[in-house]
Amino acid sequence: MIRQQIKDVYFGLVRYLSMPNALVARLRFRKAPAPEGFRLHLGCGPHYIAGMINIDGNLFRKKDLWFDLRNALPFPDQSASLVYSSHMLEHLYPEDALRLLKEIHRVLRDDGVARIAVPSMEHAMAIARGDASMQFPRSFDDPLAQAINYLFCDGQHKFGYSSGLLEAFARQAGFTRIAQYSAQHGVSPKVYGTVSLGNEPSGSLVVELAR
């Protein structure tokens, strides 16, 4: 695994180097396809999803748009029917995460839905109690060390989320309908239109957001 210090330098550059690409994207995506609108996969990483616009800041990943998600999304207001982000939000500092949630709210249609998955503080507490375990990215015998390992992931994660905290951020971003999907369904897949999403890591906190 690449050291986080190197990643921080890289993404510090990407935030500004990708800005011209964002201007091109605004022209490319100035009109949403009818009737489904845009379907956005934010921070796709290695998980490219066919039928969505896959967005990532890593030049070496398969994607449709090279873009830094700390910048304003290059899509018109209320143009997306579906927005998906899995285990990406925790890689942002709180102010950047809140800004991105506000951008998701801006581009989401009135009938659209955003599915957001993050590592769960509740799951970290289960690890600390010894009810679950986590040996990535480092292996520890002590349950508390495993919980810290899960939440911070060798410094890759900038923030942690409980269900209440994520809901508070979502409401601050303007969302009024917030469903705790994982509370009832865990990480089971769900079909959104023609796209099936899910299979997030075990213990993930998954919410569905709507305007």
pLDDT tens-place values along the chain, 211 residues long: 788 899 889 999 999 999 999 999 999 999 999 999 999 999 999 999 999 999 999 999 999 999 999 999 999 999 999 999 999 999 999 999 999 999 999 999 999 999 999 999 999 999 999 999 999 999 999 999 999 999 999 999 999 999 999 999 999 999 999 999 999 999 999 999 999 999 899 899 999 999 9
User: CB–CB of 196/190 below 8 Å?
Assistant: yes
Rounded to a whole number of angstroms, the distance between the first and last alpha carbons of the chain is: 38
CA angle 122, 127, 133 (to 5 degrees): 130
User: Which of these, 19, 148, 166, lies nearest to 92 by C-alpha position?
Assistant: 166
Domains, the chain, ordered by start: 4-119+156-210 (3.40.50.150)
User: Which of these, 108, 114, 118, 93, lies nearest to 11 by C-alpha position?
Assistant: 93
